[in-house]
Structures are given as structure tokens and as C-alpha cells.
């Protein structure tokens, strides 16, 4: 059976700021019918006064941060009500982090104003919540808690900075009332503004995260570079930028960023996990395991650590240790579909196909639209000689992912075993159409032609496969005297 299994080395993360605010209001606008889903627009306005040591720019930065945060808090009430959040047992302090991870708070207007006793800036922010797609976005964010944890750190840091702004505003008023110099406090305002701006750049990068990867990793790296320039000791920015580098396949640069993050924040389990993933992607599985061990020491109840360490053990051929880690990941997170999928693959590697199928069954119940799971279960059925059930799974995999070349090959192999040579050849043809340089497809098609007695076409395909790096069929045919 030809196998294109999952790569076991990859993994694939109310405030009251009354001081300085003249007014805050919220507008909710509803469109569409609740049956079809609804679009909810949260419009939030902050008026921020400034004087003395607080410059207009410092006031604008603080007002934007306040307005975005408070708008996301309001929008977060919709996230809190989602079934997926309740089932995932999301903590109260994770709601704002989730909101920041799946929603965008956009500044739609900013203007200066003047009253009898003060100058200020008015910021208006919109958050648009599309409830028809919200649950799926949240579900994807919850699949990788490492990024959610970093979002929590970022939101906590932003809260601390905004509280600092409120304290500085109060001190500023007292200094002005006593006719004292505001030069020192002006520098503190500037430093705090730099921190808030760095957080904003990090949030811009997170807006490009779809729950599995960055949709535009180069842009995310640019944003995170801006954050690091403003705040060179920003551990979270290094961690997230490392993930963006990994999405580009630049694993060494990812490791360098995670090294910096660990020096700045040595107790951050996520940094070790993500660095471990980068080592695993470079094939350095033992170093990856060392990082996962450290993450486990820092955060022993983290399912992702066991899942990733299991992947590394599996890549090293230590299947039993891999299964033990997947068992623990599933114990900690019973709905961990990916852990069932990978454990199923390891059982398959051990020849325990029935246990493999049981795991794929569980994964499909949790993740019914994952084509790879049907494909792998099809392989397990094929290995058990249950060819019709295998074909049914390959059919479903192809329905879910019409360009799934490996599924066409496996279905072709199964048809070939059933003696249906022409249907097998049709599947190999489709695999080659999808991937013209797919050596295995040429090899198997060549074998089917040879079994039909069409030695000329069979040998041509076997030679093509060999030219692409897979000479198995050509050597077999030569051994039988069918090809020269």
C-alpha cells in the first residue's frame, strides 16, 4: 500500500479607565435574521483629554488602545456565549484574548476637540462580528493554546500599560495644579506610549493568524519587527515572530527568535514548545524532545506538550513512548482530534490496524471534515484486506479534497488489487494530472499497464518514475524481463 501519511514531526497559540475620558458609548446594530446568522457592529467612542506632560500623540495612542480594548470586551460577550467556548472550558480571562485573536477593532475616525478647560482627541472604533463564521474562527484559535496563551500575556501587558497611563494622568494633574515641572512625567508618558504601540503592532500581526498559520507571514514579521524595535525586551513578539518564520520554513531564524524569548522569559512553556517544533521540522527530534521536556516541567498539564513530544518520539521510531504521550494528551484533552489521528498513524506503523481504525473513528466524530483522516482510515482498511470499505473512505477523502493526489493513488492501488485495472489507471491518471512530477503515480500506473500486458506503456511509465527518483517498479520489471 502506498502511503502519504501525516508528517509526524510537525505541529501543526472589564476595565474602567475613567480618568481622562469625557465620554464612552456603545452602539449595537443588527443585520439579517438570527436564523441565518447576524452581523453585529460594535461602535465605541473614547474622548481623551490631554495637557501638561501628556502630548497630543501620547493621548491619541492611549485613546486608541482604550477604545479598541473596550470595544473588544463588548464584542467578547458574543464569544463567551458560543458552545465551543463552553465545551472547551475557556477561562474568563481568556475571553478578551480570544476576541483579540478572531476579531478586528478598526479605528474609523479620530479628531481633536476643545472645551472651555481642556483640549482632547476623540477616537471612534468599530468591531464587526459575523456570528455565522465566529464559532469556526474561535474553534481554530482554540486548537492551538500556545498562541492563545501569548495573546493572554499581550492583553495583560496592555491592561498594565493602560493602568499606568491612568496613574500618570492623575500625577500630571497634580503637578499642573501645583505649578510643578512635568518634564519627568512627559518621559514616562512617552515610554508607556512606546509600550502600547508595540502591543498594537503585535495585535496587527495576530490579526493575520487564522488559528493554524499566518495568512501573510512576511507582513506579520514586518509588524513584529516594528514591535521589537520599540520594545527590544518584548518576549511575546519574539515568540510570535518565530512562528511566522516557521510558517515560511525558516526554522533556524525561528529558533533564534525563540532563543531570545527564552532568555527574556525563561519560564515561558510556550517558547520551549514552539522552539521544539522548529527543531522537529529540521529533523533534530532529540533536541525537540529536550524542549518539550522543559515545557512539561514548567506546565505539566499542557496537552500540546505531550502531543508534540509524541510526534518527536514517533519520528525517532520510538512508537510505544509516542503512544504513551498521545494517551496523556488525550487524557488532558479528550476532544483532541489531532492526537487521535496521529496515534492512529502510529498504531498503523505497528501493524495494529484495528486500533488504528478505532482512533480514526474517534477523530472523524470530532473532526468530520478532515480528508486526511478518511484517507488514513482507508489505508488501514486496505491493510486489513477490507478493500470496499477502503474505497469508501478514499471516495470521502476525495470528495472533501478533490485535489488529493495521494488518495487517488491509494484508491487506484485498491482497484488494482480487486483486478479493476482500468479504474486503477484512471485514478493514477488523475494523480498525475494533479501532480505531474509524482513519481509514485507513474510507477503504479506502469505496474497496472504491465499487468494488462501493455509492456510498452508500462515500461515507459516505470522509466519516468525512475527519472523522478522512484526506481522500484523499473527494477521489478527488469527482474521479470519485462523491461530493458
- Burial readout 208-228 (b: 16 or more C-beta within 10 A, e: otherwise): bbebeebeebeebbebbebbb
Strand order in the sheet with 21-31: 21-31, 39-50, 119-130, 105-114
Per-residue model confidence (pLDDT) at position 37: 55
How many Cβ atoms from other residues are within 10 Å of residue 442's Cβ? 26
Per-residue model confidence (pLDDT) at position 407: 97
Backbone Cα Rg of the chain:
28
Q: What is the DSSP letter of 214?
A: B
Angle (deg, nearest 10), helices 371-383 and 337-349: 30
Half-sphere exposure of 221 (CA within 13 A, CB side): 14
* Per-10-residue mean pLDDT, the chain, length 484: 34 31 38 52 88 89 91 86 81 82 86 81 89 81 76 88 92 89 91 94 88 91 97 94 96 97 94 96 97 96 94 97 98 94 97 98 96 97 97 98 97 96 96 96 95 94 95 93 90
Cell of 168: 500618570
How far is Cα 52 from Cα 278, in angstroms, rounded to an integer?
49
Q: Is 63 within 8 Å of 123 (Cβ atoms)?
A: yes
Residue appearing with cell numbers 527488469:
478
Give the Cα-Cα-Cα angle 139, 267, 243 (nearest 5 degrees).
45
How far is Cα 56 from Cα 176, in angstroms, rounded to an integer?
16
Angle (deg, nearest 10), helices 421-434 and 405-417: 170
Beta bridge partners of 386: none
Residue by residue, DSSP assigns 417-441 as: HTT-HHHHHHHHHHHHHH-TT-HHH
Which class for 264: exposed (0-12), middle (13-18), buried (19 or more C-beta within 10 A)?
middle
How far is Cα 35 from Cα 183, in angstroms, rounded to an integer?
58
How far is Cα 99 from Cα 32, in angstroms, rounded to an integer?
22
Half-sphere exposure of 429 (CA within 13 A, CB side): 8
Domains defined for the chain, CATH in brackets: 302-402 (1.25.40.10), 406-484 (1.25.40.10)
Per-residue model confidence (pLDDT) at position 31: 34
Per-residue model confidence (pLDDT) at position 29: 39
Give, for 231, the enclosing helix (H) or strand (E): none
Amino acid at each position: 500500500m502506498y502511503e502519504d501519511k501525516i508528517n509526524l514531526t510537525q505541529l501543526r497559540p472589564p476595565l474602567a479607565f475613567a480618568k481622562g475620558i469625557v465620554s464612552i458609548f456603545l452602539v449595537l446594530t443588527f443585520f439579517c435574521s438570527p436564523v441565518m446568522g447576524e452581523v453585529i457592529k460594535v461602535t465605541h467612542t473614547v474622548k481623551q483629554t490631554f495637557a501638561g506632560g501628556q502630548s497630543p500623540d501620547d493621548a491619541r495612542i492611549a485613546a486608541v488602545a482604550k477604545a479598541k480594548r473596550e470595544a473588544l470586551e463588548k464584542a467578547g460577550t458574543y464569544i463567551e456565549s458560543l458552545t465551543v467556548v463552553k465545551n472547551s472550558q475557556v477561562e474568563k480571562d481568556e475571553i478578551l484574548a480570544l476576541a483579540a485573536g478572531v476579531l478586528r477593532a478598526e479605528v474609523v475616525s479620530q479628531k481633536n476637540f476643545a472645551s472651555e478647560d481642556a483640549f482632547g482627541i476623540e477616537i471612534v472604533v468599530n468591531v464587526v462580528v459575523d456570528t455565522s463564521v465566529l464559532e469556526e474562527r474561535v474553534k481554530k484559535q482554540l486548537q492551538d493554546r500556545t498562541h492563545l496563551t501569548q495573546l493572554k500575556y499581550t492583553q495583560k501587558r496592555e491592561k498594565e500599560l493602560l493602568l499606568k497611563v491612568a496613574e500618570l494622568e492623575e500625577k500630571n494633574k497634580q503637578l499642573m495644579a501645583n505649578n510643578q515641572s512635568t518634564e519627568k512625567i512627559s518621559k514616562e508618558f512617552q515610554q508607556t506610549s512606546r509600550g502600547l504601540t508595540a502591543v498594537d503592532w503585535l495585535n496587527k500581526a495576530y490579526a493575520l493568524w487564522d488559528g493554524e498559520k499566518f495568512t501573510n507571514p512576511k507582513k506579520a514579521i514586518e509588524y513584529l519587527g516594528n514591535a521589537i524595535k520599540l520594545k527590544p525586551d518584548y518576549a511575546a513578539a519574539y515568540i510570535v515572530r518565530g512562528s511566522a518564520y516557521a510558517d515560511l520554513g525558516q526554522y533556524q531564524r525561528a529558533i533564534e527568535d525563540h532563543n531570545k524569548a527564552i532568555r527574556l522569559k525563561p519560564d515561558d512553556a510556550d517558547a520551549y514548545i514552539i522552539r521544539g517544533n522548529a527543531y522537529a521540522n529540521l529533523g533534530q527530534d532529540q533536541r525537540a524532545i529536550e524542549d518539550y521536556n522543559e515545557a512539561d516541567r514548567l506546565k505539566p498539564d499542557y496537552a500540546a506538550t505531550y502531543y508534540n513530544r509524541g510526534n518527536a518520539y514517533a519520528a525517532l521510531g520510538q512508537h510505544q513512548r509516542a503512544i504513551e504521550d498521545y494517551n496523556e494528551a488525550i487524557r488532558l484533552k479528550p476532544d483532541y482530534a489531532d492526537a487521535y489521528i496521529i496515534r492512529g498513524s502510529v498504531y498503523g506503523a505497528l501493524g495494529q490496524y484495528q486500533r488504528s481504525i478505532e482512533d480514526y473513528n474517534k477523530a472523524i466524530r470530532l473532526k468530520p471534515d478532515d480528508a486526511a483522516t478518511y484517507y488514513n482510515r482507508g489505508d488501514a482498511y486496505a491493510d486489513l484486506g477490507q478493500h470496499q470499505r477502503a474505497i469508501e473512505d478514499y471516495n470521502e477523502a476525495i470528495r472533501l479534497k478533490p485535489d488529493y493526489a495521494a488518495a487517488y493513488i491509494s484508491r487506484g492501488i485498491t482497484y488494482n488489487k480487486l483486478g479493476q485495472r482500468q479504474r486503477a489507471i484512471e485514478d493514477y491518471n488523475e494523480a498525475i494530472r494533479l501532480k505531474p512530477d509524482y513519481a509514485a503515480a507513474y510507477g503504479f500506473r506502469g505496474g497496472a499497464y504491465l499487468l494488462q500486458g501493455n509492456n510498452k506503456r508500462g515500461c515507459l511509465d516505470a522509466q519516468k518514475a525512475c527519472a523522478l527518483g522512484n526506481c522500484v517498479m523499473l527494477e521489478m520489471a527488469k527482474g521479470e524481463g519485462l523491461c530493458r
